[in-house]
Amino acid sequence: MDSILVSGGGELNGQIPIAGAKNACLTLMPATLLSEEPLTLTNAPRLSDIKTMTELLQSLGAEVTSLQDGQVLAMSSHDINNHTADYDIVRKMRASILVLGPMLARDGHAVVSLPGGCAIGARPVDLHLKALEALGAELELKDGYVHAKAPGGLKGGTVDFPLVSVGATENVLMAATLAKGTTVINNAAREPEIVDLADCLRKMGAQIDGDGTSTITVQGVDRLHGATHPVVTDRIELGTYMLAPAICGGEVELLGGRLNLVGAFCEKLDAAGISVEETDRGLKVARRNGRISAVDVVTEPFPGFPTDLQAQMMALLCTADGTSVLEEKIFENRFMHAPELIRMGAQIDVHGGTATVTGVDRLKGAPVMATDLRASVSLILAGLAAEGETVVSRVYHLDRGYEHVVGKLSGVGAKIERIKGQ
């Protein structure tokens, strides 16, 4: 397997272009299943997860063509000839469950394997299933597959989520666009990716109100048509690269960055002593002066601090002045990067869903292992500020969520290279 070699020391200066959002694109792609007409996505990220979703859609009979070096995805689902999402594909990525709602809404039946993905705790699909049942779906779990049918088509209903779920909101939102009547989704997720999906669906002819709030109302229509839609900026990639100059010093402009995507995150950066300024082209980030200050972080659904930036924020706080407390309230097993940071000299004490980080003067390079997607990039960030060399292994996780990491970071002065596995 490949690894990444990072040599620490030195400030970072320059510009980093931010790609389209992985989590948005993985949601927008299944929307093609809702219409016989073409759906084209621009500003698509070039990631292994996008290839997996492409493979899944093609296995169902959709046509997916990658154009302009992968930044444009041209899709057509005029001939869906298979309604079974097979385990061999679905196991690679949890977002695969998002084909369930669209197939069920359009054709009245679907069989989808229970999904896989990063090993960061239980992420059950029961919220997806209960939401679809509220629209009249008949569901049966058999041999690891969800067998779903709606013989007379889906019907509008009220969905009351007991807790906020981005994926379940996305699944039922897509399904509701073709359901007969009105659907009300209560306690809906408010993430920018939800708003982006709703924008795309409206371009396809859907009638949706309230996206971005906790109550979304959908008036079902008979059919959706084709559209062209740009994928929203990846707020997690944006936040990750904002931390690079915060950790290393220097000044980096993140092209395409927007404050409204990372508001709660920017509040914590400000408290730590990091300057974030809007520019004509994005966001400019620099450390204000000297050592950063410790801050406490609690992960929450949007608009709160994102769980997907917790690992990277921990890397920053490892050398902060004082003690920081990070509380993980989204996933129960998301501190697996802590032991690897400790190998680099960090002082971290984990108890359940809380990690206490006492800042040290300097981290030291070491061989470390990535345990999941966000953990992998947090170790790279830590390596940039550490003395000596850090080798991050198992970086296949990284390819699922970050395109051209080595190129983007070396472009602003980082000493980083990818070592091909034997």
Residues with catalytic annotation?
118
Angstrom distance (rounded) from CA 319 to CA 287:
13
Do 344 and 8 contact (CB within 8 A), yes or no? no
Q: Which two tokens stand for residue 138?
A: 């008949």
Residue 288 annotated as lining a ligand binding site: no
127 marked as part of a ligand binding site: yes
Q: How far is CA 243 from CA 229, 251, 265, 369, 380, in A?
A: 29, 11, 10, 20, 11
349 is in an annotated binding site: no
Is 330 annotated to bind ligand?
A: yes
Residue 331: count of CB within 10 angstroms of its CB: 18
Distance of alpha carbon 276 from alpha carbon 177, whole angstroms: 39
Known binding residue 334? Answer is no
* Beta carbons within 8 Å of 395's beta carbon, 6+ residues apart: 1, 2, 3, 4, 370, 376, 418
Residue 331 CA to residue 355 CA, distance in Å, equals 13
Pair 245, 37: CB distance under 8 Å = no
420 is in an annotated binding site: no
Both tokens of 48, joined, read: 């292994």
316 is in an annotated binding site: no
Reduce the DSSP state of residue 255 to 3 states and report it: strand
Is 124 within any annotated ligand binding site?
A: yes
Which residues carry a binding-site annotation for UDP-N-acetyl-alpha-D-glucosamine? 94, 123-127, 308, 330
Which residues carry a binding-site annotation? 22-23, 94, 123-127, 308, 330
Which residues carry a binding-site annotation for phosphoenolpyruvate? 22-23
